[in-house]
Structure 1
Amino acid sequence: MIRLESVSHDYGRGPVLVNLDARIATGLVSAVCGANAAGKTTLLRIAAGLLSPTSGRVLLEDRSLTEWSLRERARRCGFMSQRFECSTGFSVRHVLRLAGLATRVRSAEESNLLEALELGALLDRSVGTLSSGQAQRVAFARLLLQCPPDGVLILDEPCAALDPRWTLIFGELLRARAAAGGTILVSIHDLGLVGQIADEVLLLAGTRLAAHAPAEEVLVASVLSSAYQVEFDVLRTSSGGAIPISVRR
């Protein structure tokens, strides 16, 4: 569980986040949404302890992040950025082996993950030779291997370089990790994907948290139109999911 208390941040050009309070519960997929430059990446980096807020604090499992050592935090919380941050000379096998050592992953778990993400044929490839989508799959596998099932996963646009099939697979794996007791905080631009996989949505607008509620309460035309400054229609699927579509300015 992550709790943000009165979190504000300013890069010196004006506030990005102002007095934000939120509790990210265990067992849910919590999606962070908002227009470009709404503060999504800033929020995620603060939640992961990679950026200190200008004011306020972040608690991980009821302890301030400042009380956790880097080693302790790395064993409980993992962050996946929009770009794969790794030495391009490393092989995929080496990257994943290091991640698995962090949590002593059993070989069966690693094998299942390699199969799910179809990484077996890439193990001896250098990271620098991978396509953007392949690199995202490796980064995702590294994150899942690094963190225990009940750990905290924080992901910044993990599906940005993925085709529809891999987007669906990523979503299924995130939901499975949440069901296993994990805490998932993920920024997503695709509101249709949010409707498929998110249990709750944190919607940022104008430096503030405009909404933090179950997905079905946020993915409605009136709420989205106010945050994105564009009119929406929202289609409902046969399974009850929401597919928001921007229709006009």
Structure 2
Amino acid sequence: MLTTTAIDRVVRAALEEDAPWGDITSETLIPSSATAEAALVARETGVFSGGEVFAAVFRHADPSIRTSIDVRDGESFAAGDRLARVAGPARAVLTAERVALNLTQRMSGVATLTARYVHAVSGTGARIADTRKTTPGLRALERHAVVAGGGRNHRFSLSDAVMAKDNHLAVLGGSLSDALRAARARLPHTTHLEVEVDRIDQIDEVLAAGVDTIMLDNFSLEDLRAGVDRIAGRATVEASGGVSLDTVGDIARTGVDVISVGALTHSARAIDLGLDLEVR
């Protein structure tokens, strides 16, 4: 859930970055009495995300700015559609414009790409999930956008679940099952335990430790099918690595439960949105 606290933290930092000592262009050129109305307009098709964030940017720039959002997060739009409107002091509207667009374009880009992945696995039962490969400082916003696009969130941070990856296992050495059993015994019963494997012959040892999820990392399609058969419902099966729009459908049809896709956040292209301004 995207909280007001998370939004405000990002918006304050972004406005301070963009206008650390004020907007000298607007303050020099625009009369303090001037007002403006503007429409957020789509230049291309996509899936919307970031309405609350868009409104928060203008609210922080000047509380007197009025904002209305015309579409809900998760709704599709076409080129030319009006997505939101703002009205208020022209100086503040101009100061907030770039930050509001940057964040909304970014979030809508993530939502749009996620929706394409979700559509590609439609009917298979596989869930599309994000990863921690997010833009530093923007994780809460990008994770919200993934959900708006129909995807699911993986663990939010390193504090949320135990996820033993290849480098953790390399440090452990010794008996993998014994190490995982000892970890399981130390964990609260509510804490999820996931283990990444990169070979089929690791699966039995990991299963013996009673883990909740097994991630099959960079497996071939044949090995994914074999891994699903071997796990046989005793743990959630997650596929990761080498996932693209070209490959995700075939991966989903191997029977895995979850497909984690770093590209949802690290490779999403910002959607082209514009703020069409009318000065009064």
Structure 2 length-normalised TM: 0.31
Q: Which has the larger radius of gyration?
A: 2
Structure 1 length-normalised TM: 0.34
